[in-house]
Chain A
Amino acid sequence: ETGVTQTPRHLVMGMTNKKSLKCEQHLGHNAMYWYKQSAKKPLELMFVYNFKEQTENNSVPSRFSPECPNSSHLFLHLHTLQPEDSALYLCASSQDGTPEETQYFGPGTRLLVL
């Protein structure tokens, strides 16, 4: 059972577009994550927020801009993306961000950049 929702589920955008991905968790968790899942590469952690503060940015290009207005919502703002950014973007949450915790993943947004 997952209490993490993501919208939209699918997105096609041109390289000059600006779009946003939304993630919402109903689990009362304090930590939220953005991951990128590409066909040929392992799942990559992009950003981490804990108590609305960004704690990790794993060398992600500035064309990806995260926003966490409160501990239940997480956005990923996209602008001037490249075709190689096409991937499944997964949001996850966990109670406090400790390594042994369960991360609950949303179903993902399948992004295609043309």
Chain B
Amino acid sequence: TQLLEQSPQFLSIQEGENLTVYCNSSSVFSSLQWYRQEPGEGPVLLVTVVTGGEVKKLKRLTFQFGDARKDSSLHITAAQPGDTGLYLCAGATGTYKYIFGTGTRLKVLA
């Protein structure tokens, strides 16, 4: 069974702190996506990474895809309360073949 493990599972930090969320698997993915989900809403796509070693930045968020395309990380600089939510990674192994990670629940305290 393919699995995407995310760590940490829960994270509570103060506003202004930095954090990194990890997404790891033994499977190779053709692409990997990061989503954020807020209570009462569906996940919203943050980024898609496709190439091994790729780094993408979205304001204070930096996403990296592992060289072997098996893992990814999300780094948030100077976290803000608006970053609070459930962060999900999702790997694609083919058309219609998506595996979602176990999720990281982030709370940023003001």
Contact = CB atoms under 8 A, between A and B. Distances in A.
A15 interface: no
Given A42-B102, A99-B92, A106 B42 contact: yes
B80 interface: no
A42 B43 contact: no
Contact of B96 (A44, A97, A106): A97
Interface in A75-110: 90, 92, 97-100, 102-108
Contacts of B48: 100, 102
B44 A105 contact: yes
B42 A56 contact: no
Interface residues of B, number: 26
A105 B44 CA distance: 7
Chain A interface size band reads 20 to 34
B21 interface: no
Nearest to A42: B100
A48 interface: yes
Nearest to A103: B45
A102 B40 contact: no
A100 B92 CA distance: 8
A99 B88 contact: no
Interface in B52-95: 88, 90, 92-95
Interface of A: 2, 4, 31, 42-45, 48, 50, 55-56, 90, 92, 97-100, 102-108
For the complex of A and B, the 10 pairs showing the least CB-CB separation, nearest first, are: A105-B42, A99-B92, A43-B100, A48-B96, A42-B100, A56-B96, A100-B31, A102-B45, A99-B31, A105-B43
